[in-house]
A and B are shown apart, each in its own frame.
Chain A
Amino acid sequence: MRFQERHPIGAGLLALSLAAVLWLPCLHLLFQERLDAFYVPDGMAPHARALAQRHTTLWEDPASRAVEIRKMRTSNAEWDFMGRTFLVLAYANMGLRKPDAQTRYLALMDTLIEETLRLERAHGLFYFLMPYAREGTFVARPARSLFQDGEIALMLAARRLVEERTDYRPLLTARVDAMLHSMRQSPVLSGESYPDECWTFCNTVALAALRMADALDGTSHDAFLKQWVETARRRLTDPGTGLLISSYRIDGSPLDGPEGSSLWMAAHCLQLVDAAYAQDQYARARRALGRRVLGFGYAREWPTSWRGPADIDSGPVVPVLEISAGSSGLALLGAGAFGDRAYLTALLTSLNYGGFPVRRGDTLRYAAGNQVGDAVLLYAMVQGPLWRAVRQRSDGKKATLDATARAERPADTDSGKRSVTP
């Protein structure tokens, strides 16, 4: 008698094992798409267009928008705010990618910015913060949240970079002054997002906004930015991984270790501040948090060397593999911003598999996400032109300053020397 006849159960289990070994490495091929379906250097990729269309429809229809915002605010009021920021950044990039549609994107950006400012004025500091913000006292004076100031400054600057709006200039200047005033009160040059709670995510967003303001208005905060990076290397870095810690007190004492849902965006913002440092942070985050299993990419929330609690930004964490929805979504932004094509492809494969895309007409959304998650994805799919525009303006201004300085310097010739000697 053959093995299968003698041991039918054993044969069955062996067949199942072999089938799993054959099938599991192939599964990702069903969900893998070409990268240019999601991201292209110029123009708009098809999925980006469809995702944008859904957001545009949402923001042009107040009733649908209200439903989505209510769902998010039930979990976390911050997401309502951050969804706006990422959408404004996305529209800014889209406006630079597609100049023929710029007018529409500018109008949407203005709607988002003006409504955000109106809500802030009407409801005060705590409207976009989680309830625990009311339980403590901000240390810096006056009490301000860098989370809000930084992202509003970023939105205003992004809008002005696409097309100037002179009435936004004093608003941006006021935010920049407020941010610097708060950050300089801290020995680690950091502003609070919550009472005595500073977040790397929020501080690096603020730094990016400072760089954008410099590019727009000809100011220079180079010394401050350099000092922030030096301080962060010394005081805000996890010794085990070399990664920035995610949250800390205003005096610099750590609250949490390096957290994925903060780090990918922090590295992206630092690209405008210190490109080499940003690249280093991304490479470290990729090693400590980025994973690829059987063709699917994902990100951990914490490195293996750190045991930290999941917070609301982490999203649910799948045990054993430690897959974090929040970190994985933002890892898409990191991988795209740093040109990590292999990891980006693996992450997008996971998005196709576990994001549960829903296509209706020419729109796309991800059922496993929410408005802010989709806004982050859209931004990840269109980012690039805005950061390039900031660098070009900064480099252009620097070249002008250098040329001016050279022109004003006395000529180093014999005639020049003769002119200064008695």
Chain B
Amino acid sequence: MRYLFCFLSFLCFFLFADGERDRLVHGRVFIDLNEPSVRPLFLGIQLHAPEPEAKRYSKELLTVIADDLTYTGLFSIIDERLFLEPSHAFFKPENWRPLGADAVVKIKISLSQNTIKALSSIYDVNEGLQIFKKEYSGDINLLRTLAHVLARDIYKKFTDREPPFEAKLLYIGQLDGKKSLFIMDWDGARLRRLGIRAETIISPRWSEEDRLLAYTTREGLKWAIKVVDFNTMTQKTLFEQKSLTIAGDFIDRKNLLITYTDMDNQDIYILDTETSKIKRLIGAYGIEIDPVVSSDKKRLLFVSDRSGSPQVYMAELSGYNIKRLTYRGSYNTSPRWSPAGDSFVYVGTVNGKNQIFLQRFYSEPLQLTHEGNNEEPSFSPDGRFIAFSSDRDGLWKIYIMRLDGSGQKALTKGYGFSPIWIK
């Protein structure tokens, strides 16, 4: 009986005491914080190769991973000479906190025949926990690819975004007095050449979903638009003309936007890739060239001189609703969409030199380059990097920079022009 009374009293207590929680909510203290200190994530990367055969690959693997992550500007890799914990030892947060580390990546590699295996574990120092573990394996000849994949997963763990580490850059290069097409890793390594040569090559354009490359050549008096199918590595000439004709972006597999000259006037047309028939899309009294399509295939950017000078315009894919976008400067060309479709880059002339500008819609343009001439900008697939050509060194080379214009560096030693990204 007594027990029952007390039990009931407890129930009552808790029923009423629930009001206590309300009181806490009403009595909650608030703190508002703005402007964090600027600091990248401090990352410690350790490679453990217990077998001597695997050891000699450690340095390259580590360098590629560290360079990828550092170049994003989000990470700072801690110098391994500061490490307190040996690479084979278990993770202990107290070994890393004095270094200011936010996270630690421990990679164990082993080699068997021609296969390299890697076990990557990521630890959060502040939480003191392991947060990631994954095994990888691949042919030893693809060591750099493995490194980029390892770096990708580290990047994704902290940002939940895809980095461009595995992407390639295709560009126009020189070979024996003629032009050719080259492909390299996003960091400039593993340069290879495509078996294509022509007197002049311009305007390479890529369709990611169909893996088609369109480009334009001039041989003698003839201009030609060619398409390479990367699935079969075969090429087709789609269109030829004596007057200037340049490939623009793919709308889809069947339709390619082109610049076509009709009676000394350039306009934007759609080229049917199967029938080679053309149809005019945008044309006015002046010159319309350089059409580029947004990722969502709804809008296009192009250059027109209808206002009296070359400026960047936007239109719906139907060709209607034409709006002028650039108002600064008297010569603005080469527009390229960001993958998100919320901004674009273009080339504007400043003090007689060409510079690259970034413009978010309804905002002021931001000048990203200042040295030499800088042209043909191209956004990386994740939208955080821009590849471009620059002659600041006295020779046209391929360069890369971050979205805010920082980190500008050359990727090629020799001639390179018009880079585009290939995933």
Is B one of A's binding partners? no
Chain B residues with a Cβ under 8 A of chain A: none
Chain A residues with a Cβ under 8 A of chain B: none
